[in-house]
Amino acid sequence: MTAAVPATRVTFAHGALEGAGTVRLVEALSGGPVVVADETPFHPVDHTWPDQPGDTGEIRYDGQSVRVIEAVMAAVSDEGEFAVGTDIPVKRGAEGWTWLVGHRLDGDAPAWLAEGARVELVVDPVRRAGLSRGHTACHLASLALDLALADLWRKDPGADALGNPDFEGRANQTSRIGEDGAVDEYRLGKSLRRAGFDTETFSATLGDREAAINARLAEWVASGAVSRVVPDGPTIVDRRTWHCELPEGTADILCGGTHARSLAEFASISVSLDLSDPQLLVMTTSAVAA
């Protein structure tokens, strides 16, 4: 059984790459040991919507270090049951559970990495920067997609963060973010047509839609707009919002990931649209760092 611990405090929302924390748990699991500290700069993969991978990096102590191969979501019950990722048996916010950030190690935990140790936690900065640009580019591409498809709706599907018809919210079924890019899949089935979307015209004008998206993305990159994450609180379970001041207005999107600080960090963002399966749109987003 595991002793009760408080929810992990996180600093990644403000762009932190290094920090100090006190080790609270070291759990030996089948996939490798997982370490929990009371505070961390590591961004964990969210098992409920695993779009952005977890950070990698190191935990250091007195000149020694151990590699973190992925930061993950973890939780511990009031009775001491510890679980990681998809093994967590409850939804976030369930009573009787505390939510944590776990650091999965590469190999066994060294003796110095024990409960109560004060350690340094250091995120891989190159990977984090690439993932942050990828996540920002993903959101921008989705907003530009919504705008480019706005005339194809015969009914109101609800509005996105810029007030345009929310194709993203209606049709997106998976999103996978990588360093400097993302791949999103959208289901174009009967339910979307019943919701009022003109899939036939979309298919016939796919090239024009892609060009419109890329033109809009070029304008947004040229604006150098401010981009940031605004957290409601310091713990991993507190809500966080991506905020970007685009020329068309300010976009606010609930988001647990990390982001670029400004669109000036990009030389370009572009998308390609693939509709080889008429029931499935695949949008691949590619970013080039400035």
Out of 107, 123, 139, a domain closes at 123
pLDDT at 157: 95
pLDDT in tens, 182-214: 999 999 999 999 999 999 999 999 999 999 999
Q: Are residues 180 and 80 in the same domain?
A: no
Q: Are residues 148 and 270 in the same domain?
A: yes
Which residues are CB-contacts of 134 (< 8 A; sequence separation ≥ 6)? 52, 177, 178, 179, 180, 181, 182, 285, 287
Q: Are residues 181 and 85 in the same domain?
A: no
Q: Are residues 161 and 282 in the same domain?
A: yes
Q: Report the chain's mean pLDDT, rounded to a whole number.
A: 96
Count CB-CB contacts under 10 A for residue 20: 14
Residues 255, 261, 267, 268: what is their CA dihedral angle, to the nearest 10 degrees? 20
Helices (H), 64-205: 125-148, 167-171, 190-194, 199-204
pLDDT in tens, 147-168: 999 999 999 999 999 999 999 9
pLDDT at 2: 59
Average pLDDT over residues 26-46: 95
| Residue 65 domain boundaries | 9-123
Average pLDDT over residues 33-38: 97
Q: Which residues pair with 74 in a beta bridge?
A: 84, 100
Q: Are residues 145 and 266 in the same domain?
A: yes
**pLDDT over threshold 70, residue 112:** yes
Query: Cβ(54)–Cβ(68) under 8 Å?
Result: no
**pLDDT over threshold 70, residue 1:** no
Average pLDDT over residues 106-119: 95
**pLDDT over threshold 80, residue 229:** yes
Q: Are residues 281 and 139 in the same domain?
A: yes
**pLDDT over threshold 60, residue 172:** yes
Q: What angle do CA 195, 197, 200 make, to 5 degrees?
A: 140
Average pLDDT over residues 126-135: 98
**pLDDT over threshold 70, residue 3:** no
In a domain, 221, yes or no: yes
The pTM (predicted TM-score) of the whole model is 0.96
In a domain, 4, yes or no: no
Q: Which residues pair with 48 in a beta bridge?
A: none
pLDDT at 92: 85
pLDDT at 93: 79
DSSP, res 197: B
In a domain, 3, yes or no: no
